Structure 1
C-alpha cells in the first residue's frame, strides 16, 4: 500500500537536501583552504619575481590537485554524494572542474617554469626540459601526465566528441585517471609544502593532511567504482531471466537476483549495466528501471540506437550482469509538492512508467508521453492501466517536431493542461531540447525551480 506524503515531509526533505548540499560544498571548499593555509605556514616567499612566480605556481598546483580530488569524489558514485547531488549534477560538476582545473594546471606549469628560470637565470625552454629530465622520476611522470591531459582535453572538445562514438571517447577519457595517478608522487617528493622535511611541525602535519586527502578521494573512487560492483556481482548474482522484443521496437530485459532490495533501488533510478557476455562485457551503459522494483526482479527497457544496444536483443537467459548503482535522484522520494507531472519522450519514457507505478493517488497526476506515433511508445498499455488505477490524466503528444514542447499543430499552455502546475513536481526525461522546452514552459507557468526534476545521461 502506498502511503500519501504529507506537506511536512515535503518541507523536511527540502531542508535536509539543502543542508546536505551546503555541507558537501563547504567540505570541498575547506579542503582547498586547509591545504593553502598549510602552504603559507610552511613558507611562501615573494621577495623576488622568481620567488613570487614560484609561490603562485605552488598555490595553483594545490588548487588544481584539490579540484582533482573533488572530481574523483563526485564521480566515484559514493551514495551520500550521489543521493544528494544526483548523477547528472555530479557529472556536470566533474566536467566543470575538469575544464577549470586544466586552466589552473596550465598556470601552475607556466609560473613554475618561469619562476625557477628567473631564480637560476635560465630561459623557459631550458627550464622546461630541466623539469622533465633532471628533477627525478616523479617530476618526469608529472610532465608525461601533463601531456596526456592535453590529449584528453583535446578529444573532449565538442567538435571532436560529436564525431566519436561513446566507446572511443570513453577509452581516451580513461587517460584522465592515469594522469591523476602519475601526478601524485611529485607532490610529495618535489613539492616543498608536502615533502615532510620536518623543518617545522607544520611540515609533517601538511604531509599527513595531504596524504589523507588523497587517500579518501582515491580510496572512495576505487571502492565505489570497482570493488562495490564486484561485490554486487558476487552477492546478488543478477542474471538475465528473459528478453522481450516489444512492438514499438524497444527491448525489455528482465533480470533476477538475490536480495536485490538490499541494493535499495527506487523507481526512476538507473544502473550502469555490464552484461558479461562475449563482445559486451567490456562496456557498461546506463539504463533506467522501467518497472517499479519489487522482490528480486528488475526490468529495463532499451531502444536500439547503436551496436551495443542492438546486441542486447541477443542476450541469453542466464547471462550474468554486473550492476553499478542504483544511481540518481530522479525518484518520487524527492517530491516536494502535492501534485505530480511526468513528461517523457523516447527512451525517457521508461523511467516514467516505473515512477507512475510507485506514485500514490493522494494528489493530481498528469502524464505526457511524446512520440511521433502512439505505436512508438513503450509499455503504453501498462501506462494506460496505471493511469486508470491512479486517477492520472494521460496526454499522448503525437506528431512531428516543432520548436516547442508540443507537436506541430497543437497549441496549449501547461497551465491549461495542468491547472495545478504551480503546486506540482515536474519530472522530465527525454531529448535535451525537448526536455528544456518542457521545463521552460513549466517555469513560465509558475512551477518553482525546486519542483523541477531532470536527470540525463550526459557524456
Structure 2
C-alpha cells in the first residue's frame, strides 16, 4: 500500500511544475459580506411590490378573514422566493462561489431554507384560518377542503412535508446522528419539493399570474433555478469528467480509518485547480457510487496527479476503503477560497483540527515550492486528540526537515473550562493570548484555519480578537 518514504516523496515531488492555478495573481479576498443580503433584499422588495400592485393591501382592512388570507398569500410568495434563491445559492455557480465564498453561500442557503419553511407553514395556517373565518366553518374541515379540492394544493402539501423533513434533518442535533451520505440523499428531495410546489402557484396563485410583470418575474426566477441546477450541478460536472477522464492511480492506507487516493488523467494539466481547494468526487465502483463526497486536496496539485485524504467511517466507508487503481472518477469543482492567491501578508499560519490538515498541507507545500511566495518560515498549529492521531505526518515532517515549516502540536482532550479549540492543559489561557503566544510573528502572517465547523469558528473568533484582520483570515469549515 505504500510506506512512509513513499508519502514523503510525494511532498518532495510537489516542487515540480504545477497544474494551471487560478489563484495566482493579485490577492483578493471574498466579496463584501452584504452582497448576498442585497440580492435577497432586492427580491423581497420585488415580491412586496408585485403583491401590493395586485390590490392585496386593501384586503388587510376588510376584516380578519380577508386580512389573514392576504397575509397568508404574501407569506407563500416570500416562501417561494426564498426556496428558489436557496436552490440558486447551492447550484455551485462558479463566479458566485469565487466572488463570495462557498462558506458564506452555504450559510445563506441554510438561513433561506429555514426561513422559507417557517413562511410555508405560516402561509398554510393563515390561509386556512382566513377561509375558516370567511366561510364560518370549522378549521379542520376547512383545511381538509382546501387540501383535497383546491387545484395543486395536495401536491403543495406533499412539498411542504418534504421541506419540513429536510429542515428537521438539517438541525444540529439531527446532523450529529446522521451520516453525511444519508443527509445528502435526504436533501435531494428539495428539488422534488420545488417541482411539486409549482402547479399550486400556476393553478391557484392569483399573485403569480396577476400581471405580465409578475408572471415574467416568477418564471424568470424558476427558470434561473432550473437552468442553474441543470448546467452547474449536472452539465458542467459531466463535461468536466468527460474532458479529463480521471481515474484512481494509487491508494495508500494512512491509518486504519484514513485513506489517501491519487487521481490522474491525460488532461490533468489543464484542470484549473489551486492548492487548498476541494472537489466533489464520485468513485464509480460498487453500490452507491452516485453519491458525491466533498474532499479537499491533501497535496499541492501537479500535472501528474491530485491527492485526496479522507476518513472511511461514514455510510460509504466500506466501499471507499475498497478503492483500487483504475477506478473511474466523476468530478465536480474545484471549489473553495482557501487558496494561495488570497494572501495579503508575507507569512503563513495554518491552524488545523484533525483532518482539517488536508487542505493546509497542500497550501504549505505550494508555498514551499513556489519561489518568492513562501515568506518567513510558515507555522502549522496542529490540533489532535492523541500524538498517534496525526494524518499526513510524513508530509509535515518533510516540510520541517527542509526548513519550510515550524510545527506547534496541541495534543490532548478538548478543554471544558476555557477556550474550546485548545487542549485541556492550555484551557486556562484566553484564546487570543494563546494564539499570540503560539505564533509570535502573527502580525506578519495570513491565518488559514480548517477543521470541524464549531472548532474552526472558535479559532477564527480568537484570531479576530487577537488583531488578525478579515482580509488576512481564511477559514474552511468542515460541515454539512
For normalisation by structure 2, the TM-score amounts to 0.84
Whether 1:251 and 2:259 are equivalent positions in the alignment is yes
User: What is the aligned partner in structure 2 of residue 219 from structure 1?
Assistant: 227
- Aligned mates of 1:169, 1:142 — CA distance in 2: 23
Q: Which residue of 2 aligns with 1:118?
A: 133
- Could you tell which deviates more after superposition, 269-278 or 438-447? 438-447
Higher relative contact order (CA 8 A, sep 6+): 2
2:249 to 225, 229, 241: 241
Shift of 1:234: 1.4
Contact 2:349 2:378 in 1 (8 A): yes
Matched, 1:377 2:386: no
Check conservation: 1:35, 1:210, Cα contact below 8 A: no
Distance 2:305 2:276 in 1: 15
247-256 or 409-418, which moves further after superposition?
Answer: 409-418
- For the structure 1 residues 154 and 333, does the alpha-carbon distance in structure 2 shift closer, same or farther, using more than 3 Å as the test? same
Cα deviation for residue 382 of structure 1 reads 2.2
- Does 2:413 correspond to 1:392? no
Question: Map of 1:109-258 to 2, 5 A cutoff?
Answer: 109-136=124-151, 138-195=152-209, 203-246=211-254, 250-258=258-266
CA contact (8 A) 2:257 2:313 kept: no
The answer as to whether partners of 1:243 and 1:313 remain within 8 angstroms in 2 is no
1:420 aligned to which of 441, 448, 462: 441
Q: CA 1:249–1:171 in structure 2 vs 1: closer, same or farther (change >3 Å)?
A: closer
Aligned counterpart for 1:451 among listed residues 446, 459, 472: 472
Which residue of structure 2 aligns with residue 200 of structure 1? none
Q: Aligned equivalents of 1:306 and 1:31: distance in 2?
A: 39
Check whether the contact 1:271–1:327 (CA below 8 A) recurs between aligned residues. yes
1:26 aligned to 2:38? yes
Q: Deviations over 1:163-202 (max 9, x none)?
A: 3333333333332222111111221221112225xxxxxx
Contact in 2 for aligned 1:248/1:377 (Cα 8 Å)? no
**Aligned pair partner of 1:81 in 86, 96, 99:** 96
Distance (whole Å) between structure 1 residues aligned to residue 186 and residue 138 of structure 2: 34
Q: Distance in 1 between matches of 2:383 and 2:171?
A: 31
Partner of 1:199: none
SS, match of residue 31 in structure 2: helix
Give 5+ residue unaligned stretches, structure 2.
1-16, 19-24, 368-372
Instruction: From the superposition, tell whether residues 193 and 437 of structure 1 become closer, same or farther in structure 2 (CA, over 3 Å).
Output: closer
Q: Contact conserved, 1:189 with 1:195, CA < 8 A, in 2?
A: no
Question: CA–CA distance in 1 between the matches of 2:173 and 2:404?
Answer: 47
Distance of aligned partners of 1:154 and 1:399 in 2 relative to their CA distance in 1, 3 Å threshold? closer
The answer for the alignment partner of 1:62 in structure 2 is: 77
* Compared CA separation, residues 413 and 23, structure 1 to 2 (3 A): closer
| Structure-2 residue corresponding to 1:402 | 415
| Matched pairs, number | 442
Paired residues for 1:345-384 under 5 Å: 345-359=353-367, 360-384=373-397
Quote the Cα distance in structure 1 between the aligned partners of 2:377 and 2:390.
23
Partner of 1:5: none
Residue 65 (structure 1) shift:
0.9
Cα contact 1:68–1:101 (8 A) shared by 2: yes
Give the secondary-structure state (helix, strand or coil) at the position aligned to 2:332. strand
TM-aligned CA distance change 1:213 to 1:406, over 3 Å: closer
The TM-score with structure 1 as length reference comes to 0.88
